Amino acid sequence: MGRPVIGICAALERARWSVWDQPAALLALNYVTAVQRASGVALMLPPDERLVEDPERLLELIDGLMLAGGADIDPASYGQEAHPETVDTVPERDAFEIALTRAAIERDLPVLGICRGMQLINVARGGTLVQHVPDLFGHQEHRRVVGSFAGAEHDVILTEGSLAAAAAGEVVHVTKSHHHQGVERLGDGLVVSGISTMDDLPEAIELPGRRFVLGVQWHPEADEGSSVVGAFVQAAAQVAGRAAAALARE
């Protein structure tokens, strides 16, 4: 079976390299290495406004869609005004990823949302977000050190028999988190399958009835011991295998 192609949505940021300081499509390398470690091929997907109306051509090129972490989602996409702590939004990225997510789910492609990506899945399904978790719980434990996973470990309780538990390989899972927003009202058809032991904040959501649609609020790509990305790539490999078998029969 060939290596599955995993499309990973990229951020739009200003970046410096060599003598250049310019806007860039940016993706942290640990997302790429996590996919490659699981025997997938990583394909970076920068926002493309022309694909918002018709994402199918892009989805034909990949076997699984990974929604990476990054900037806050524009609250206009879920019908709210911006909280003072909601910053650095990139509406064109949001529109692109929402369109891709909806179309990927319709095609039954495997989808893994990580941190912001979990929130994006929820928004794509019509849900809303808590824009600043400390307002709700009165602590900063979900993002202890800004820009670092130092001291970020905490336990998440996963629902027995859920996709989240199967992907993690256990029901009590130690995670690395770095976020200040979270799921509020669940989107259509989604279920919560993981809860933080610190405060009952949803930390995993999934869509029953689909091959693999999972959002995790933590960062499995930053944890070499995590099996979550591997489980997602394995689901994408099954898609790639079926597509190859169909071509062979033609």
Q: Is 174 helix (H, G, I), strand (E, B) or coil?
A: strand
Instruction: Kindly state the helix (H) or strand (E) to which residue 100 belongs, with its residue range.
Output: helix 91-107
**What is the Cα–Cα distance from 158 to 103, expressed in whole angstroms?**
27
Q: Which helix (H) or strand (E) holds 29?
A: helix 29-37
Rounded Cα–Cα distance for residues 230 and 40 (Å): 9
**Cα diameter, the chain:** 60
Q: Which parts of 188-227 fold into alpha helices (H)?
A: none
Q: Tell me which residues are annotated as active site.
A: 115, 219, 221
Close Cβ partners of 132 (under 8 Å, ≥ 6 residues apart): 83, 85, 86, 180, 181
Helix (H, G, I), strand (E, B) or coil at 207: coil
The first and second tokens of residue 70, run together, are 């990054």
Which residues fall within 8 angstroms of residue 250, CB to CB, at 6 or more apart? none
End-to-end CA separation in angstroms for the chain = 18
Residue written as token pair 């879920």 = 78
As separate numbers, helices (DSSP H) first and strands (DSSP E) second, the chain gives 7, 13
